[in-house]
């Protein structure tokens, strides 16, 4: 049996036995965000966390907050359809102003870079990070690999 098949079986078993599937689906929202919202809405808003089915999103522009509010139900329905389960219940949108004040008449800044949903305030120990890297090394799907990595890191920091 190929090494990747063994890794895939191991990860599948780990996800099943530890009941990580709901958390993995939550993490998938972050990779689907821009794909389902498109440009410019998806590039000028940043999903930052999910808790209890509520997705928190930041934007620098009040106009995007208003547009998101108007499209909220459709966005939730589209993302839940893509996930195959009703993971999202609501979206909360906050305007976070950039620390830099643009000069009058300046163009809006470039799109907000996608941030990791995992808090950087608590970083797992190096040996834990190494185990996580080894665990996800055999995963070939990039989105799944990122989601698993984020999930395992967040789970390890929650235990600390």
CA distance 37 to 138: 30
Q: Taking all residues of the chain, what is their mean pLDDT, rounded to a whole number?
A: 77
pLDDT, position 102: 47
More reliable by pLDDT, 76 or 111: 76
Residue 97 pLDDT > 80, yes or no? Answer: no
149 against 108, higher pLDDT: 149
Q: What is the 3-state secondary structure (H, E, C) of 4-55?
A: HHHHHHHHHHHHHHCCCHHHHHHHHHHHHHHHHHCCCCCCCEEEEEEECCEE
pLDDT at 55: 94
Number of domains in the chain: 1
Domain, as residue range, for 55: 3-99+108-159
Total residues found in the chain within this entry = 160
pLDDT in tens, 22-47: 778 888 888 899 888 887 888 889 99
pTM of the entire structure? 0.54
Give the model's pLDDT for residue 39.
Answer: 78
What is the spatial distance between Cα 108 and Cα 44, in angstroms, rounded to a whole number?
Answer: 10
**Rounded average pLDDT over 139-148:** 76
């Amino acid at each position: 049996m190929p090494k990747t098949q063994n890794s895939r079986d191991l990860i599948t078993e780990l996800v099943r036995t530890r009941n990580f599937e709901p958390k993995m689906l939550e993490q998938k929202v972050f990779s689907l965000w821009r794909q389902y919202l498109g440009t410019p809405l998806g590039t000028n808003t940043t999903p930052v966390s999910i808790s209890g089915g509520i997705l928190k999103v930041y934007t620098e522009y009040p106009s995007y907050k208003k547009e998101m509010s108007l499209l909220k139900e459709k966005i939730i329905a589209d993302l839940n359809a893509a996930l195959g389960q009703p993971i999202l219940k609501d979206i909360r949108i906050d305007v976070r102003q950039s620390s830099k004040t643009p000069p009058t008449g300046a163009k809006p800044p470039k799109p907000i870079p996608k941030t990791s949903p995992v808090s950087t305030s608590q970083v797992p120990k190096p040996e834990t990070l190494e185990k996580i890297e080894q665990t996800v090394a055999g995963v070939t799907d990039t989105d799944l690999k990122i989601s698993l990595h984020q999930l395992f890191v967040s789970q390890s920091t929650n235990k600390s």
